[in-house]
């Protein structure tokens, strides 16, 4: 059963959405929006000054483009970033291998860009470890320039900080390099890893990923039914969520009553004030650190290098637009694009 | 009696400003600034290296432009946005009609821009309702392209969320559309409404407004003597406060000892760190939600889509500059412009 | 003994960094980074597809440029801004003289820019006074245009607010002007002073400085071993920290176990999310006001006009990169530049 089917079924069962024209957008199932069945709305024509025929046809053409974008969501593209990388374990050490290389990456259907990627993913594979874990990262550099990895947010010994000529030599083309450390206690939460060499270019092209440290004792507030990491970017690949541009972005799915945790991470050059429709977000952590008093918002300004963790209590079923509120990052006269996705509550 | 007169009278009465060159800026009354009567200051000439005559006359010309701008404040322009729209009430439903259409809008004296406006205002009319109210919005589209209204910050049923092709059909040129809902309990505060169709263009051109929900039981901290909504914008109309550019911006007026509540709303594409001179702001709410612990500042960074409510305890009389601290949004070598106004405490 | 020597000695003594290639960057002492002694890392060559000779030599050339930048840090340049200005005291009044004039300023070795400076410094001299102090500022204008000084964050009587044509006449070329006031009680912390006339240009060119007000009774949390003021700028002088661009920026130095207080001030036009490697920052004040509950981060977004005070518990020895995380403000393919410095813990 697709999420689209679930939405429809939920709608019928609860009678809640029964007269709506909700476009069920999920799992590839798309139900067309019928104008005659508009929700609380009644569409009537205005007596006053009808628009000229040419303007009307331009308006129709614009509607078609907008509709096509929405109907295509979530559009299929080659490649998926931010996939959990299972470590191989040797003598209690969790070992992760990261290979940096140039690839072609599809950000939206047919939009191919050059990416510099870890393990052929943009963002790179998601690292998930636990406080106190012993970990080893083996970086293989298949790029044509040097590189290095910085573990952004982790409080590590200086020698594994990843800054060439300050804490290590650059990792040259064709070379490999090993970082090994214990994940520090008390420093759990949402962190990142990314290149710290020629970083404006290398991170801009995709050498970045999420580094999540699970706490030994999670607090009640951070336990969630759905845990979603959303990496914002705005470099050479355009405006993206987890390396994809609308309509190829991934919807966030939860059931009514579930707790959704969203981990925002900004790896770009601009702020992105993320706006969720219909439900508020409770901010629980900044850069991995629990905030002293959680606070609520519907628009959260995420600056480059920042991570913010929020909880959404998914109380209200529907397809909720979720986008950057710098509108030119999200919509043009050709329809929605870039930093747009949806929270789908069934 | 104009505010200018009040400032002068207050000054005399309290002796506080009696030697000042305060330019009384309000209600059209402008008192010239006399150099010989400078406040704590004494103006003397420097012995060292006098500037060349041409530089001096350039400096004089620059002073004249700066002075003319300040003297013109608050300058009269045609049209005023953000005016409270009284609903018509039918069977306990508060009904608001919004007509979207193209108009000419004067942002500063003589500066006419094309605006797409609700009810011929930029920002659109201010909606003021109460938690639990039953409301109906009838949108009339007199534009040459489709549109729709999103109630930004309100936790409504999905079917009235206002996103074409997701929760409703687009409202076509010449058509009308009705949204009806109960204003949710517990979701009071400073919200917005704006187009959610081709929004980078439509909101940029003016299809936006304040949606204020009064609580059934206001907290002590949020009760204020003066309640002011300040919508920041930076699109096709330049840098504006409530649709106007300095010197046509509106001053915020309060009496000494009064509590002034300012509701910041950013409908633009850029951050605007708002700086108040001479008095601090206590932040009490974010996106309508009370902050867990109010905090103080004099410069508040407001990102697109965000709303922030602050309280100013107007303890200090005077004309206090109040502006975006991204200085190119507020001043050029021709004088102050754009995102500048004043809090006038009498 | 240079800091470089101290780092090395500390390393040997503690055995902590003993196998590292740490480049000791401080006090002019620079130790080359040996690839063969890389920290936790082992450098091996990848079998797969060796890069072409030309790419390799391009990579080598890039490494050389990056290395040269780091080795040059902290590079010597003429002029140092933000130096504490000792007042002269007359009848219990602390008197500060500020002379605004055009100078040449070296932001990085060989990079000369035109600056408009107070007392030939960019930023202007640091003002340090105490709550309740009686102070007098005598401004001398040696510029070819008018000017004025605004004391940003101080809650002063309107007449000394420093806004030409509103609270005072402009201070003309060749003229002087006097501001006198009592530093208000309860308004201590990190403030600024800067031009408020033609400010986009004048502040952009350097007419700005730190204005620190010491509390009569400092709280425990704000007492620090090292107190550092970091003014961010991004105008005509490029991306700078205290008027200098990497590698001419100044490192922040502390000993292991010390408390470092950093006072961030943004006098530019853009946000700068400041990222500290390896250790977190505890935010204790915003715009001089204690935050109700200190919170932790490693990346702090500082907007124009804002001041943020943070405490770093320097628990971890090393050279910790400290930079704006808008990467194009910090690095190019020619190496690090602009908004980069280091916290050096010995």
ipTM (interface predicted TM):
0.88
Decide if C166 and B319 are in contact by the 8 Å CB cutoff.
Answer: yes
- Kindly state whether C71 is in contact with chain A, defined as any CB-CB distance less than 8 angstroms: yes
Provide the pLDDT for residue B51. 52
Beta carbons within 8 Å of A76's beta carbon, 6+ residues apart: A28, A109, A248
Provide the pLDDT for residue A28. 33
Residues of B in contact with C135 (CB under 8 A): none
| Residue of B239, B264, B299 to mutate, testing the C interface (most C Cβ within 10 Å of its Cβ) | B299
- Kindly state whether C309 is in contact with chain B, defined as any CB-CB distance less than 8 angstroms: no
Nearest to A174 among C41, C50, C331 (CB): C50
Decide if C331 and A177 are in contact by the 8 Å CB cutoff.
Answer: no
How close is the nearest chain A Cα to the Cα of C334, in Å? 8
Which helix (H) or strand (E) covers residue C71, if one does?
helix C53-72
Burial label for A226, CB within 10 Å (0-12, 13-18, 19+), is middle
How close is the nearest chain C Cα to the Cα of B179, in Å? 38
- The residue-averaged pLDDT of A242-259 equals 98
Is the Cβ–Cβ distance between B154 and B182 less than 8 Å? no
Q: Indicate the average pLDDT of chain A.
A: 88
Decide if A59 and B172 are in contact by the 8 Å CB cutoff.
Answer: yes
- The residue-averaged pLDDT of A288-294 equals 98
Nearest to C23 among A150, A166, A172 (CB): A166
Full 3-state SS string of B143-197: CCCCECEEEECCCCCHHHCCCECCCECCECCCEEEEEEEECCCCCCEEEEEEECC
Block residue for tokens 């929270």: A343
Decide if A23 and B155 are in contact by the 8 Å CB cutoff.
Answer: no
Residues of C in contact with B297 (CB under 8 A): 286-287, 289, 306
Provide the pLDDT for residue A14. 35
Residues of C in contact with A181 (CB under 8 A): 40
Decide if C326 and A304 are in contact by the 8 Å CB cutoff.
Answer: yes
β A259-266/A226-233 pair status: parallel
Is the Cβ–Cβ distance between B159 and A39 less than 8 Å? yes
Provide the pLDDT for residue A27. 34
Residues of A in contact with B163 (CB under 8 A): 277, 321
Decide if C43 and A176 are in contact by the 8 Å CB cutoff.
Answer: yes
Nearest to B59 among C163, C172, C199 (CB): C172
How close is the nearest chain C Cα to the Cα of B78, in Å? 25
Q: In 3D, which of C67, C27, C323, C253 has the Cα closest to residue A166?
A: C67
- pLDDT tens figures, A219-237: 999 999 999 999 999 999 9
Tell me how far apart the alpha carbons of residues C141 and C244 are, in angstroms, rounded to a whole number: 24
Looking at the predicted structure, is the pLDDT value of residue A45 above 90?
Answer: no
Provide the pLDDT for residue C146. 98
| Residue of C42, C284, C325 to mutate, testing the A interface (most A Cβ within 10 Å of its Cβ) | C325
Provide the pLDDT for residue A43. 47
Report the neighbours of A using a cutoff of 3 or more CB pairs below 8 angstroms.
B, C
pTM: 0.89
- Kindly state whether B331 is in contact with chain C, defined as any CB-CB distance less than 8 angstroms: yes
Enumerate residues 153 to 212 of chain C having a beta carbon within 8 A of any beta carbon in chain B: 153, 155-161, 163-181, 196-201, 203-204
Q: What angle do CA C93, C95, C97 make, to 5 degrees?
A: 165
- Kindly state whether B54 is in contact with chain C, defined as any CB-CB distance less than 8 angstroms: no
How close is the nearest chain A Cα to the Cα of C140, in Å? 39
Decide if B297 and C286 are in contact by the 8 Å CB cutoff.
Answer: yes
Q: How many CB pairs under 8 A join A and C?
A: 194
Decide if B167 and A22 are in contact by the 8 Å CB cutoff.
Answer: yes
Decide if A145 and C45 are in contact by the 8 Å CB cutoff.
Answer: no
Ranges of residues in chain C with a pLDDT under 70 are 1-52
Tell me how far apart the alpha carbons of residues C9 and A12 are, in angstroms, rounded to a whole number: 74
Full 3-state SS string of chain A: CCHHHHHHHHHHHHCCCCCCCCCCEECCEECCCCHHHCCCCCCEECCCCCCCHHHHHHHHHHHHHHHHHHHHCCCCCCCCCCCECCCEEECCEEEEEEEEEEEEEEEECCEEEEEEEECCECCCCEEEEECCCEEEEEEEECCCCCECEEEECCCCCHHHCCCECCCECCECCCEEEEEEEECCCCCCEEEEEEECCCHHHHHHCCCEEEEEEECCCCCHHHCCCEEEEEEEECCCCCCEECCECECCCCCEEECCCCEEEEEEEECCCCCEEEEECCCCEEEEEECCEEEEEEEEECEEEECCCCEEEEEEECCCCEEEEEEECCHHHCEECCEECECEEEEEEC
For residue B88, CA distances in Å to A83, B148, B179, B335, C184 come to 54, 22, 15, 44, 51
- pLDDT tens figures, C250-291: 999 999 999 999 999 999 999 999 999 999 999 999 999 999
Looking at the predicted structure, is the pLDDT value of residue A276 above 70?
Answer: yes
Looking at the predicted structure, is the pLDDT value of residue A151 above 70?
Answer: yes
Residues of C in contact with A264 (CB under 8 A): none
- The residue-averaged pLDDT of A81-110 equals 98
Q: Indicate the average pLDDT of chain C.
A: 88
Decide if B273 and C166 are in contact by the 8 Å CB cutoff.
Answer: no
Residues of A in contact with B305 (CB under 8 A): 273, 275, 298-299, 325
Provide the pLDDT for residue A53. 73
Ranges of residues in chain B with a pLDDT under 50 are 1-49
Decide if C46 and A172 are in contact by the 8 Å CB cutoff.
Answer: no
Decide if C273 and A168 are in contact by the 8 Å CB cutoff.
Answer: no
pLDDT range class, residue A52, cuts 50, 70, 90 = low
- Kindly state whether A219 is in contact with chain B, defined as any CB-CB distance less than 8 angstroms: no
pLDDT, greater one: A58 or C45:
A58
* Nearest residue on chain C to B26, alpha-carbon basis: C166
Provide the pLDDT for residue B166. 97
Block residue for tokens 């190119």: B328
């Amino acid at each position: 059963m697709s999420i689209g089917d679930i939405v429809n079924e939920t709608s019928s069962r609860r009678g809640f959405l029964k007269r709506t024209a909700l476009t069920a957008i999920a799992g590839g199932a798309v139900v067309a929006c019928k104008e005659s069945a508009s929700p609380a709305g009644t569409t009537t024509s205005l007596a006053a000054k009808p628009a000229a025929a040419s303007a009307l046809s331009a308006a129709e053409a614009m509607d078609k483009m907008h509709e096509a974008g929405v109907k295509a969501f979530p559009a299929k593209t080659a490649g998926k970033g931010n996939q959990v990388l299972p470590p191989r374990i040797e003598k209690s050490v969790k070992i992760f291998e990261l290979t940096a290389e140039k690839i072609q990456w599809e950000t939206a259907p047919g939009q191919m860009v050059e990416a510099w990627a870890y393990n052929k993913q943009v963002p790179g594979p998601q690292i998930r470890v636990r406080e106190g874990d012993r970990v080893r990262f083996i970086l293989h550099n298949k790029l044509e320039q040097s590189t290095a990895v910085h573990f952004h947010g982790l409080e590590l010994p200086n020698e594994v900080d990843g800054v060439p000529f300050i804490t290590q030599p650059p990792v040259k083309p064709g070379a490999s390099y090993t970082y090994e450390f214990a994940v520090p206690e008390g420093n759990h939460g949402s962190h990142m890893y990314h290149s710290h060499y020629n970083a404006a270019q290398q991170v801009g092209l995709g050498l970045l990923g999420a580094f999540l440290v699970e706490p030994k004792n999670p607090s009640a507030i951070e336990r969630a039914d759905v845990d979603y990491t959303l990496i914002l970017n705005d470099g050479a690949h355009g405006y993206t969520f987890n390396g994809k541009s609308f309509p190829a972005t991934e919807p966030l799915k939860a059931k009514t009553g579930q707790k959704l945790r969203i981990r925002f991470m900004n790896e770009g050059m601009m702020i992105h004030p993320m706006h969720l429709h219909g439900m508020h977000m409770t901010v629980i952590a900044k850069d991995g650190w629990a905030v002293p008093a959680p606070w609520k918002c519907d628009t959260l300004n995420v600056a480059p290098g920042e991570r913010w963790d929020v909880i959404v209590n998914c109380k209200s079923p529907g397809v909720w637009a979720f986008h950057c509120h710098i509108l030119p990052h999200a919509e043009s006269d050709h329809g929605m694009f870039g930093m747009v996705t949806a929270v789908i509550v069934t």
